[in-house]
Amino acid sequence: MSMMDIIRERRSVRTFDGKNISDDEAVKILEFAQKVENPYDIGITWKILDAKKEGLSSAVIAGTNTYIAGKLLRVPHAEEAFGYSFEKVVLFAKSLGIGTTMIGGTMNRSAFERAMNISGQEFLPCVSPLGYPAKKMSFKETMMRKGIKADTRFDFGEVFFDGSFDNPLSESKAGKLCEAFEAVRLAPSAVNKQPWRLVLCDGKVHFYEKRSKGFASGDGSDMQKIDMGIALCHFEVVAMELGVSVLLKIEDPGLEIKNDMVYIASFDIG
């Protein structure tokens, strides 16, 4: 299966079939996570957790006892790095037939932080259950997906731009990179807000975050920056699959932006 196929088929899974994933699969996922690098070169410590043993729970998850969580130092770009790396793990799990849901809010966070031995400068952005998707979603999951319109995404021209934010990008203008943009469009995001806005400009793709209210917390962390890391991951893996090399740079091109937008990073297109 190609990365693009995996991205197209992935969805958050909240109802699992009740069987634990095998030890072998748990080790494979952990080893994969430990090897994933991110363009910010920020180290992440991963653990597979037994929910019963550690007293972990999420009100939205049913039918699995296994979680994966990661912790890292609270340094600049930590959230983007985490989102990028975690999404690679999510896509790898999907390739093994294992379902996931990134969870940043609906869990007993302090129990997860205890299980991960979070110390002073560290934080735990998100966790995910790991398990085999149940044949049928629970009523709760179905209602939740409806509530946040989890099956819809903005149109291509609403989130991707050509040269400046005044010109929507067409699929034909995106050319050989069309599928890489499409992979960003399909990405998961907190409450499905899809905060990514991309501008194709002079051989570069600039990534911006359109911030929604309520995601930045008092300690300076911003859950939507995790979404931005996921977007960078999707763009990169599909560009590579298309034979296009991309190089991450943080060089604000100074485009005119609205107050609710923040520049994140750019890819130089090879």
Ligand X SMILES: Cc1cc2nc3c(=O)[nH]c(=O)nc-3n(C[C@H](O)[C@H](O)[C@H](O)COP(=O)(O)O)c2cc1C
Q: How far is the CB of 188 from ligand X (least distance, A)?
A: 3
For position 226 contacting ligand X by CB under 6 A, the verdict is yes
- In the complex, what is the shortest distance from the CB of residue 208 to ligand X, in angstroms, rounded to a whole number? 17
Q: Which is nearer to ligand X, 82 or 200 (CB)?
A: 82
| Token representation of residue 176 | 């050989």
Taking CB under 6 A as the rule, does residue 104 contact ligand X? Answer: yes
Q: How far apart are CA 246 and CA 152, in angstroms?
A: 28
73 touching ligand X, by CB under 6 A: no
Give yes or no for a contact between 76 and 220, defined as CB atoms under 8 angstroms apart.
Answer: no
Helix (H) or strand (E) holding 87: helix 78-95
Greatest C-alpha distance within the chain:
53
Q: Which stretch binds ligand X (CB under 6 A): 39-47, 95-103, 200-208, 232-240?
A: 95-103
Cα–Cα distances in angstroms (integers) from residue 185 to residues 43, 76, 114, in the given order: 27, 25, 35
- Site membership for ligand X, residue 60 (CB under 6 A): yes
- Closer to ligand X by Cβ: residue 116 or 190: 190
43 part of the interface to ligand X, by CB under 6 A: no
Site string for ligand X, 135-174 (x = CB under 6 A): -------------x-x------------------------
- 133-149 b/e with 16+ CB inside 10 Å = b? bbeebbeebeebbeeee
Residues in 109-138 at the binding interface with ligand X, rule: CB under 6 A: 126
Q: Kindly give, in sequence order, each residue whose CB lies less than 8 Å from that of residue 260, ignoring residues fewer than 6 positions away.
A: 210, 211
Residues of this chain that interact with ligand X (CB under 6 A) are 11-12, 60, 101-106, 126, 148, 150, 188-192, 223, 226-227, 230
